């Protein structure tokens, strides 16, 4: 049997297993929106731990992470930096969000903020921003999945077909099982990613250099500029500390606030389970070390690989490894892509229905009908992202940068909700709109950026300033209402 056929069979077997887990898991959920979107608020520690781990590590982990280490060296360390601090704020606000979710029936992020500031406009704005942020992110996951298929089958399965196969499976289990399908497949995918990352991350340096230490010694001698923080920029020039620092800041802020991630707070069985999952999250995150080792392993032995994201498949297909091992890599990369992609599809559909349609036009929407509508939108959103993945020439990386800038603008809303009793609806709205406008303006006119800082940082600064000033000159909200949130 030809090697590529074995690779394909291993990959398809993995997809089959994901599908089975995804379909079986959904049988226990109730039929309404709380069952479909928040898993009846019943996820235990192990599942929530893997959901938090796997749904943030996307196709970027297996392709982009090694690609960054390979082409930009120490710049890739910023991923570890923002992950170290990114989830810690959840320990403080996670229990408050979960308690309020149970009390008032929230299952999305916007429901919390819209309720605190009594603003349907804010709900709609957050729905739009979430969608703008999700679609490029999801599209990149699909492209990543298609790319993996294409490389390991030596082009016999084109990117469009690979993306269709992987996301066909995602679509079926998300449609059928909702968040429980996402959660249990994330558990499978998370375990798989961890095992493969450590295996490849330790094996490849050993195979190519005789060990991790020998690899870094060789790199330090031949390419010291690559190992010296803050590493290199995308053009191969030294990166600036301003860009490095602000990338860590914006990513750390965005990390805990991505709406699809934030929504997982509502799925926890209880506060203790939520806190335990947050505490143990770094034990998942440490797998970024072997991921970066993979990229560094390619620098001296495989120079000139373009795009840099192809470094891991390039190494694996050139090493004469058993086809089963290459197939396992393929499955691992798909796991990384799908574990984020499924959460995005599910969250985007839920947000559009709950925060857009239901809030603006149909507050009386019956729970069963709502879940049905979310399922239909799951199909629509997957189709739109797929169309972008196979047909669009738009720079997704640029859109993704915009996304991070937008998501960071949610941080002042969170602070205002839980910390500042004087924050008002006009203040929250004005701050959020001003922050997003700054992000858009600085992305359109990069020459306006000061100190080489990420546009999101300037957006947050303007957001805080405008939000504070407008709140101070507008009528204070009811003390009783605010206390519900600040004292939660």
Partner 1 sequence: MEDERRATGRWIYRAVAVWFLLVFWAMVWPGYLPFARIRPFVLGMPFSLFYYACVLVASFAVLFALYRWEVSRGLSGEDDDG
Q: Which is nearer to partner 1, 283 or 318 (CB)?
A: 283
Binding site for partner 1 (CB under 8 A): 74, 77, 80-81, 83-85, 88-89, 91-92, 95, 98-99, 102, 211-217, 220, 224, 227-230, 241-242, 244-245, 248-249, 252, 269-272, 275-276, 278-280, 282-283, 285-286, 289, 292
| H helix or E strand, kind and range, residue 238 | none
Q: Which is nearer to partner 1, 88 or 390 (CB)?
A: 88
Spatial distance between the Cα atoms of 229 and 240, rounded to a whole number of angstroms = 9
Q: Which is nearer to partner 1, 47 or 373 (CB)?
A: 47
DSSP SS3 for 473: helix
Contact present, 78 and 60 (Cβ < 8 Å): no
Contact present, 146 and 15 (Cβ < 8 Å): no
Report the 10 Å Cβ neighbour count for 280.
Answer: 16
Q: What is the DSSP string of 370-425?
A: HHHHHHHHHHHHHHHHHHHHHH--S-HHHHHHHHHHHHHTHHHHHHHHHH-TT--H
Which neighbouring-strand residues pair with 268? 43
Tokens representing 399? Answer: 């859109």
Shortest distance (Å) from residue 43 CB to partner 1: 13
Spatial distance between the Cα atoms of 8 and 155, rounded to a whole number of angstroms = 12
Q: Which is nearer to partner 1, 83 or 467 (CB)?
A: 83
Nearest to 376 by CA among 183, 179, 180, 174: 174
Q: How far is CA 341 from the centre of its chain?
A: 8
Query: What 8-state DSSP symbol labels residue 321?
Result: -
Q: Give the CA radius of gyration of the chain.
A: 22
Shortest distance (Å) from residue 97 CB to partner 1: 12
Tokens representing 412? Answer: 């002042």
Shortest distance (Å) from residue 371 CB to partner 1: 21
Contact present, 181 and 174 (Cβ < 8 Å): yes
DSSP SS3 for 43: strand
Q: Which is nearer to partner 1, 16 or 282 (CB)?
A: 282
Shortest distance (Å) from residue 212 CB to partner 1: 4
For residue 129, give Cα distances in angstroms to 137, 182, 412, 434, 481: 13, 22, 15, 13, 26
Spatial distance between the Cα atoms of 117 and 465, rounded to a whole number of angstroms = 18
Shortest distance (Å) from residue 33 CB to partner 1: 17
Nearest to 90 by CA among 256, 252, 250: 256
- Torsion angle of C-alpha atoms 269, 259, 380, 382, degrees rounded to 10: -90
Contact present, 253 and 81 (Cβ < 8 Å): no
Shortest distance (Å) from residue 436 CB to partner 1: 24
- Name the maximum alpha-carbon separation found in the chain: 74
Tokens representing 98? Answer: 């979960």
Query: Would you say the C-alpha torsion 238, 242, 245, 249 has a positive or negative sign?
Result: negative
Shortest distance (Å) from residue 470 CB to partner 1: 27
């Amino acid at each position: 049997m030809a090697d590529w056929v074995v690779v394909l069979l291993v990959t398809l077997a993995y997809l089959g297993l994901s599908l089975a887990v995804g379909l079986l898991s959904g049988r226990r959920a109730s039929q309404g929106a709380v069952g479909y979107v928040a898993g009846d608020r019943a996820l235990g520690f192990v599942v929530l731990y893997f959901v938090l781990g796997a749904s943030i590590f996307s196709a970027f982990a297996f392709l982009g992470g090694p690609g960054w280490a390979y082409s930009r060296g120490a710049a890739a360390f910023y991923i570890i930096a923002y992950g170290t601090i990114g989830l810690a704020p959840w320990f403080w606000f996670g229990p408050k969000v979960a308690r309020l979710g149970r009390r008032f029936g929230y299952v999305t992020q916007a429901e919390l903020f819209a309720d605190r500031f009594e603003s349907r406009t804010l709900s709609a704005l957050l729905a739009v921003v979430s969608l703008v942020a999700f679609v490029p992110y999801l599209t990149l996951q699909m492209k990543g999945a298609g790319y993996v298929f294409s490389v390991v089958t030596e082009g016999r399965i084109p990117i469009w077909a690979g993306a269709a196969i992987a996301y066909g499976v995602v679509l079926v289990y998300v449609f059928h099982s909702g968040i429980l399908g996402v959660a249990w497949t994330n558990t499978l995918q998370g375990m798989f990613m961890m095992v493969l990352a450590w295996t490849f991350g330790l094996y490849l340096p050993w195979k190519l250099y005789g060990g991790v230490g020998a690899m870094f010694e060789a790199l330090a001698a031949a390419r010291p500029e690559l190992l010296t923080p803050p590493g290199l920029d995308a053009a191969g020039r030294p990166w600036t500390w301003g860009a490095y620092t602000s990338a860590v800041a914006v990513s750390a802020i965005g990390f805990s606030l991505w709406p699809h991630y934030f929504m997982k707070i509502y799925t926890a069985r209880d506060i203790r389970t939520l806190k335990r999952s947050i505490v143990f999250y770094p034990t998942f995150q440490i797998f970024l070390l072997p991921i970066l080792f993979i990229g560094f392993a390619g620098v001296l032995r495989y120079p000139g690989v373009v795009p840099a994201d192809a470094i891991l498949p390039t190494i694996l297909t050139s090493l004469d490894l058993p086809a089963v091992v290459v197939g396992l890599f393929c499955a691992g990369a798909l796991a990384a892509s799908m574990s984020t992609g499924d959460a995005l599809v599910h969250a985007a559909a839920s947000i559009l229905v709950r925060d857009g349609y239901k809030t603006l036009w149909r507050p009386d929407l019956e729970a069963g009908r709502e879940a049905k509508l979310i399922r239909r939108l799951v199909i629509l959103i997957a189709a739109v992202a797929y169309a972008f993945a196979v047909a669009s020439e738009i720079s997704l990386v640029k859109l993704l940068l915009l996304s991070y800038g937008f998501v960071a603008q949610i941080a002042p809303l969170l602070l205002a909700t839980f910390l500042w009793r004087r924050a008002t609806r006009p203040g929250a709205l004005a701050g959020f709109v001003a922050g997003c406008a700054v992000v858009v303006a600085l992305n359109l006119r990069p020459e306006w950026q000061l100190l080489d800082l990420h546009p999101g940082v300037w957006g947050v600064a303007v957001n805080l300033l405008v939000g504070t000033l407008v709140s101070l000159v507008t009528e204070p909200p009811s003390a009783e209402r605010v206390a519900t949130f600040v004292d939660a």
